[in-house]
């Protein structure tokens, strides 16, 4: 349901936060940073399903790294609008990443628990390097001190939907990013 610029999903109201032009500019900036850092290399991008699929699609094209590969893993730590605190792997990685330069592509870093767990798991498979790219990063929510290597936007600790991010599976298809309306 949509009313003027507001979006209502599952009875919660969201207001526009980042429009698609702003998102594109920052995703292209991050893509260029990755292209510069991985010039002459063959990185493997790990897109974290489901939320990162839109960002990953734009980001890998923005890098222009034709020798890169992309594959998909799935972790889940959220129910509704608040973190459950538990982090678990639902679908594992099937590609061999030993001796590879890995770049994880995630939609959002909130507490940092998911990111730390993923990096810990991946390092057991002896990659040459593991770096972390995220569309959104909430530094004030961190419970781990984790700092992503590539960040499109630093944001305050508020709940976001759109551009791949969901509310209980909905709203991933919004081209813009919306923030929950408070009060």
Catalytic residues: 110
- Per residue in 105-126, is it b (16+ CB within 10 Å) or e — as a string? bbbbbbbbbbbbbbbeebeeee
> Does residue 77 touch ligand 5GP according to CB under 6 A?
yes
**Residues pairing with 179 in the sheet:** 15, 160
> Closest separation between CB of residue 45 and ligand 5GP, Å?
16
- Closer to ligand 5GP by Cβ: residue 60 or 160: 160
List strand residue ranges (DSSP E) for 126-174, in order.
Answer: 129-137, 150-154, 160-161
Q: Distance (Å, rounded) from C-alpha 166 to C-alpha 110?
A: 14
When the beta carbons of 35 and 172 are compared against ligand 5GP, the nearer one is 172
Output DSSP code: residue 60: H
28 — phi, psi (to 5°)? Answer: -65, -35
Q: Phi/psi at 12 (nearest 5 deg)?
A: -100, 140
89 contributes a contact to ligand 5GP by CB under 6 A: no
Which stretch in 30-38, 55-63, 64-72, 102-110 sits in contact with ligand 5GP by CB under 6 A? 102-110
Window 108-127: residues binding ligand 5GP (CB under 6 A): 108-115
Instruction: Please answer whether residues 134 and 109 qualify as being in contact, where contact means their C-beta atoms are separated by less than 8 angstroms.
Output: yes
Is 166 an interacting residue with respect to ligand 5GP (CB under 6 A)? yes
**65 lies in the binding site for ligand 5GP (CB under 6 A):** no
Nearest approach, Cβ of residue 111 and ligand 5GP (Å):
3
Q: How far is the CB of 98 from ligand 5GP (least distance, A)?
A: 25
Q: Which of 106, 122, 131 is nearest to 37 (CA)?
A: 131
Number of residues that bind ligand 5GP (CB under 6 A): 20
Contact status: 46 vs ligand 5GP (CB under 6 A): no
Report the interface residues with ligand 5GP, using CB under 6 A: 51, 77-78, 83, 87, 106-115, 159-161, 165-166
């Amino acid at each position: 349901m949509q009313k003027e610029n507001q979006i209502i999903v599952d009875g919660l109201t969201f207001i526009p936060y980042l429009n698609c032009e702003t998102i594109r500019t920052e995703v292209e900036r991050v893509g260029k940073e990755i292209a510069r850092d991985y010039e002459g290399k063959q990185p493997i991008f790990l897109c974290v399903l489901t939320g990162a699929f839109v960002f990953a699609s734009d980001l890998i094209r923005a890098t222009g790294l034709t020798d890169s590969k992309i594959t998909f893993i799935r972790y889940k730590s959220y129910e509704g609008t608040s973190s459950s605190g538990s982090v678990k792997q639902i679908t594992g990685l099937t590609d061999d990443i030993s001796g590879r330069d890995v770049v994880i592509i995630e939609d959002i870093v909130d507490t940092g628990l998911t990111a730390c767990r993923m990096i810990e798991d991946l390092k057991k498979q002896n990659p040459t390097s593991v770096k972390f790219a995220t569309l959104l990063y909430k530094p004030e929510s961190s419970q781990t001190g984790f700092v992503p290597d590539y960040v499109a936007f630093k944001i305050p600790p508020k709940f976001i939907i759109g551009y791949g991010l969901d509310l209980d599976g909905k709203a991933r298809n919004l081209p813009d990013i919306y923030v929950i309306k408070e009060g």
